[in-house]
Amino acid sequence: MKEEEIDEPKAENPEELRDLKIEKPSTVAAGLKAVYHSGQHVFGEMSVARGVRALLALNQKLGFDCPSCAWPDPDDDRSAIAEYCENGAKAVADEATTKSLRPDFFAKHSVKELSDLDDYHIGKNGRIAQPMFLDEGSNHYRPISWDDAFKKIAFHLNSLSSPNEAVFYTSGRTSNEAAFLYQLFTKEYGTNNLPDCSNMCHESSGFALAQAIGIGKGSAKLEDFYEAEVIIIIGQNPGTNHPRMLTALQKGKANGATIISVNPLHETGLLGFSNPQKLKGVLGIDTKLTDIFLQIKINGDQALIKAIEHLLLEEEERNPGRVFDHEFIKEHTAGYQEFIEQAKKYELNYLAEASGISLHQIKEVVEVLKDKTKIIICWAMGITQHKNAVDTIREFINLLLLKGSIGKPGSGTCPVRGHSNVQGDRTVGIFDKPHPALLDQIKKVFGFDPPREHGYDVVKSIHAMFEGKAKVFFAMGGNFLSATPDTNYTAEALRRCDLTVHVSTKLNRSHLVHGKEALILPCLGRSDKDEHDGAVHFVSCENSMGVVQMSKGVLKPVSDY
């Protein structure tokens, strides 16, 4: 190989790799550094008074729900001044910014010019201030009245040969109330084409859980983390994606829980946590969270759990009734004997090799689990986005069922949702495969017969738009293009639509890769005060553990639209 070939960076964008430096990774997450960066983001986007008002109301009982992740708010020890993480502060900074995009901005900047920016700088331009419309063949959005925008949408929807030629996408930031009305509208219009962001994150969790335990949600509550004897975190990085979870893990650890982390990488937040709300954290004294770290092969999770089950079965046979909860198994499960017969066929060395974990480490885990019943298994998209995700999650459930660790304090399943209300949206009917019972109730209460045919999920929607089977794309929030798989294919699919509509707080990439005609419609964010008819109104959201809470904005919106 020639020397110049050795030095040439190998990447899709080689220029991005020329100045890279390798540094020693951090050993602790959060701390005062996180507080400092949070302040930089918030007060860089708004006045100190506005920023302080927003942060003091964030995740408070009479305030608004965090627009970042869906981790629940603690009722036992909720901070009165800082019940949020760095991610939450950044999300609020983006949403509550006082920068606004008026008609002169769009007149000055063409779609082509804005498309040349990266996603970060597109979003940093500010809030959408009024409805904007892009004519076919034009390269500049122009202002449009609400009435004309609604007429434009109605014209395109009424022109379709079938309601199934329209796609209605939903982001997880949509409130329960907006999502309910949205799905009701689509059903009365005549379609179940309701793709949502859950299709791309925890669809496998909902499917596996619904089949195994009858409901597509987790069974563990926040308080269970404080009582748990063992917490297994697998395919998830709380320090980056759900930082407030670190506080719950810290409390569980203080109460005696053993924390087992399963991840191909050493994630900083799982190694150490410096809680900036506690004196020790302020002083830089961190809590070591993980007791056992298993550096698994990518997608070796199912093999690991099967190996654990195999060894637990051996322990149960040596000590009958001491390892498995047979009373629970008899009363609440089915298929136990078939499962045991299958488990006995597992080849332990093969499973260990497939998982990438040594038998010594697997036996260390079994030694911890064999006499424990208060066990929580948490997972996120490191698990859910594999082809065999459903079977892997079923194996998590099997392990918990063997131990009688579902439906009891300190135990259960915990799929940690990423988007702030993605679970609530699904609860109120955002689903391309609606349950017949929901459709029956809609018919009974609202007096029309909703369609029974399953609609398009995210992937099927993209194919339908690409193939000309769907001609109108309507997005209730989100950044569909940047969030979905195969960006180039999705972009071409959107361009083939007659109309694309985005209800949005801020400018994003999906507004710039559009149909023949395009609309951007502004809306209130979580932090915005919704004041009309002499009252301040609120909405509700559902957190990752099934709790529905009020969300009431406190800030004056940046636009009267």
pLDDT (tens digit per residue) in 228-260: 999 999 999 887 778 888 889 999 999 999 999
CB-based burial, 228-257: b 16+ in 10 Å, e otherwise: bbbbbbbbbbbbebbbbbbbbbbbbbeeeb
- 310 in Cβ contact with 349 (< 8 Å): no
**Residue 281: in which H helix or E strand, if any?**
helix 279-282
pLDDT (tens digit per residue) in 401-460: 999 999 999 999 999 987 889 889 999 999 999 999 999 999 999 999 999 999 999 999
pLDDT (tens digit per residue) in 469-492: 999 999 999 999 999 989 999 999
pLDDT at 106: 97
- 527 in Cβ contact with 96 (< 8 Å): yes
Task: For strands 292-294 and 287-288, give the pairing.
Answer: unpaired
Rounded distance between C-alpha atoms, residue 133 and residue 516, angstroms: 11
Query: How many CB atoms neighbour CB 103 within 10 A?
Result: 15
Rounded distance between C-alpha atoms, residue 245 and residue 417, angstroms: 12
Tokens of 335: 């298929």
Rounded distance between C-alpha atoms, residue 206 and residue 423, angstroms: 10
Give this prediction's pTM. 0.88
The torsion defined by the Cα of 143, 144, 146 and 148, in degrees rounded to 10, comes to 180
pLDDT (tens digit per residue) in 163-190: 999 999 999 889 999 999 999 999 999 9
- Residue partners of 373: CB distance under 8 A and separation at least 6: 229, 325, 403, 404, 405, 408, 411
- 474 in Cβ contact with 166 (< 8 Å): yes
Look at the block and give the residue holding tokens 């395919």. 235
pLDDT (tens digit per residue) in 185-226: 999 999 999 999 999 888 999 999 999 999 999 999 999 999
- 234 in Cβ contact with 262 (< 8 Å): yes
pLDDT (tens digit per residue) in 288-302: 788 999 999 999 999
Look at the block and give the residue holding tokens 């395009």. 518
Helix (H, G, I), strand (E, B) or coil at 207: helix
Rounded distance between C-alpha atoms, residue 377 and residue 277, angstroms: 26
Rounded distance between C-alpha atoms, residue 245 and residue 228, angstroms: 14
Tokens of 439: 């459709």
- 504 in Cβ contact with 522 (< 8 Å): yes
- For the chain, what percent of residues have pLDDT higher than 90? 72
Query: What is the rounded average pLDDT for all residues in the chain?
Result: 89
Residue 3 has pLDDT above 70, yes or no: no
Q: Which domains does the chain have, with CATH numbers?
A: 31-98+527-551 (no CATH), 100-199+422-522 (3.40.50.740), 203-415 (3.40.228.10)
Rounded distance between C-alpha atoms, residue 472 and residue 87, angstroms: 34
- For the chain, what percent of residues have pLDDT higher than 70? 89
User: What type of residue is 443?
Assistant: K
Residue 8 has pLDDT above 80, yes or no: no
User: What type of residue is 164?
Assistant: N
Phi, psi of 444 (to 5 degrees): -65, -45
Residue 273 has pLDDT above 90, yes or no: no
Helix (H, G, I), strand (E, B) or coil at 377: strand
pLDDT at 419: 80
Length of the chain in residues, anyone? 561
- 455 in Cβ contact with 162 (< 8 Å): no
